[in-house]
Structure 1
């Protein structure tokens, strides 16, 4: 006999699979109203959520003292009234987004009264494993509901109590839309069971360490979408506005150092290093940032020595490595060598240098004169994101509603047969593109 936990996992996935078929047929109004109900319920049950979160934070702080957790992890875990208001606002912003489903992406006449439509539809059943931030559970669920997908949620054990309450809220207020569309799994054994369900689950979206994401990719046939590390860079060019560069490099590191779009390495052109670095390091040290520099950096400022491993490390903390480079090509080469294809930024007033950097860097987002912290689904106007994809297939960068859809072809005919278009005297296809929206049972050119 199979262990009961495996039966439970199969039942959850089966329920999500059935619900996905139902959810794909619901109206945008129904899905959006469900999201607004989630936002209202989160605020109404604030005390319950915060009480659960306090348990998680207390346990995490004990693990921090024992040296098992980092301060960055504890910071990501914490919720308060302001954070819950922000989460509710995020859910409402997803509700207010344009419906990603049912859009006719292309319309083509194959022949008179034979019309082909390419239409946006849900992917189906999503599976996701994410880190300690409880708001990630709400983000992913909100985007899944708006895009008509069922979702299997697996949060980190450090957010167990918070995740359970948030899941209960979401499940309770949306059960009448498509019962079973959202499911919560908790045990590692359940994750392993999910990895084997390639016929039931259509897409996996892991968010975690490099080792964990690699484990997911190596142990499933399900397509995997996501990113591992966020090793982001800011390059200060010799044509940079140095005051602007200081502000950008400070924001990119200090505004929220625990997230994947925070800068980890600062590259500085040698022509401006002596003018730029002393003020920059002073700013960092005033915010308790540990600065680690290469040899040329330490000739200018008194900082700790950077080692080879620093260039390939995602700190997720108030630590930054600094390297002085001779020219733009060296900066580009460093970023492409050590970057994680996440987000990179150049600060310069030289348009040609900006274009060279932006077009030469292999990353999902590349910025000019802006902080790397802008790499975010909400800030991009996507409503929210399920994560940032550093791959190049299906979706890249912050993955919002559009990234959670696929396409389906609908063909509207009037009794046509393939035999008519084959044989010795075949009828030719017209293959003419036209502007039209697919309406079930009709041909829009008529």
Structure 2
């Protein structure tokens, strides 16, 4: 049963969403500008709250990967404030006419983009998600109910207070951005299918799967980030080593960091020793199959390693006998997130890009590029590995749907039925 307080929050969010749908681009952009100014004005308070969260979480033994996600440094905060500006500068995804067709004289059909309504976003750690998601939600005309992890409670509360302060005096009501603070509220949020139009969970495999299995509300997200880099037999070795190091160590707690390195047997003896040395120098612990163990000293890898998202400085290595074997391994164990190939062979690259089943497939670049900010989306609400769109990093375009609008002058279907039926013109008009 949903508590009256949470039901009121959901109702307020729904009412705010109904106001948002009528706002023009300039009005929404003005509100986003006010939010950036408020976040800058409250910067010291935000960072102090985050330090409090970090100290408490360290004392409670929070996993290193989550601690890394929880930390909100001055640079990270500044980057996220800039992200709000970037979202403000993006084209408005609402009100875009995708179809303009004359069915008959005076009977005009349009397909026009519109907001989803109310988003429910549940995330672990990552207090910066409050900033990113708020910017994307408001720009796309959606209200949002946020639920951060207990470890980020103080950070999220201060961030939302700053956002509310920024929205005061704008056309967007502060009730468009709501924050839940207790674990008990998560289960109740999942039951609000009359008010919430989309759930976006960001967290561990078990966490996302729980959300998917316990709500009738549509869910956008990914349960795993099990990414691979495949080193082909024709490859620029120094470049490939740099890609492996960056894909694993630049931010190992990220869902787009690689967890398995696949190496063609034709290049393994030449590639693995210098690559292993570079990875170990960065603190990576290596595990390998039998073929790998014959080339470099590593701990043995088991079947479980091919299925593990470490989110840490641990990397499993497997030697494969062909490109086809690498693709088969990825399509068996991968999570559909991001997969990469290092090769100088354009045919191998083309085959990999075509046959690997993932939201992102990369050639000669780090898997860490799988990110809404780096894609030019301003920010992202999350990454989706489902096959139906939206897929991959989800920005503004993933937060709108569309409606068909038909403009008539008294036409009835009977006119177009029967032996003397009038014919439709079905003439496309300029968008």
Partner of 1:227: 222
Question: Post-superposition shift, 1:163?
Answer: 0.5
Partner of 1:38: 35
Partner of 2:261: 266
Report whether the alignment pairs 1:54 with 2:63.
no
Question: Post-superposition shift, 1:24?
Answer: 0.7
Tell me if the contact between 2:273 and 2:295 (Cα under 8 Å) persists in the aligned partners.
yes
Aligned residue for 2:3, secondary structure, equals helix
Report whether the alignment pairs 1:70 with 2:70.
no
Report whether the alignment pairs 1:218 with 2:213.
yes
Instruction: Tell me the TM-score normalised to structure 1 length.
Output: 0.94
Tell me if the contact between 2:256 and 2:368 (Cα under 8 Å) persists in the aligned partners.
yes
Indicate the RMSD between aligned Cα atoms, in angstroms. Answer: 1.2
Aligned residue for 1:272, secondary structure, equals helix
Partner of 2:25: 28
Distance in 2 between the 1:215 and 1:240 partners? 41
Partner of 2:376: 381
* Count of aligned pairs between the two proteins: 429
Distance in 2 between the 1:54 and 1:43 partners? 17
Structure 1, 372-381 or 37-46: larger mean CA deviation: 37-46
Tell me if the contact between 2:28 and 2:172 (Cα under 8 Å) persists in the aligned partners.
no
Partner of 1:315: 310
Name structure 1 gaps, 5 residues minimum.
437-446
* Per-residue Cα deviation, 1:14-33 (whole angstroms, up to 9, x for no partner): 11111111101111111112
Distance in 1 between the 2:93 and 2:21 partners? 11
Of the candidates 135, 143, 147, which is equivalent to residue 150 of structure 1? Answer: 143
Distance in 2 between the 1:28 and 1:52 partners? 33
Distance in 2 between the 1:33 and 1:112 partners? 40
Of the candidates 420, 423, 438, which is equivalent to residue 415 of structure 2? Answer: 420
Distance in 2 between the 1:434 and 1:294 partners? 60
Structure 1, 218-227 or 417-426: larger mean CA deviation: 417-426
Distance in 2 between the 1:6 and 1:189 partners? 10
Distance in 2 between the 1:254 and 1:165 partners? 31
Distance in 2 between the 1:96 and 1:167 partners? 22
* Per-residue Cα deviation, 1:69-122 (whole angstroms, up to 9, x for no partner): 211211111112211111111111011101111110011110011110000110
Aligned residue for 1:271, secondary structure, equals helix
* Per-residue Cα deviation, 1:301-341 (whole angstroms, up to 9, x for no partner): 11111111111111111111111111001100110111000
Distance in 2 between the 1:293 and 1:393 partners? 35
1:39-438 → structure 2 map (5 Å cutoff): 39-64=36-61, 69-175=62-168, 176-179=170-173, 180-436=175-431
Instruction: Tell me the TM-score normalised to structure 2 length.
Output: 0.97
Aligned residue for 2:5, secondary structure, equals helix
Distance in 1 between the 2:271 and 2:374 partners? 29
Aligned residue for 1:89, secondary structure, equals helix
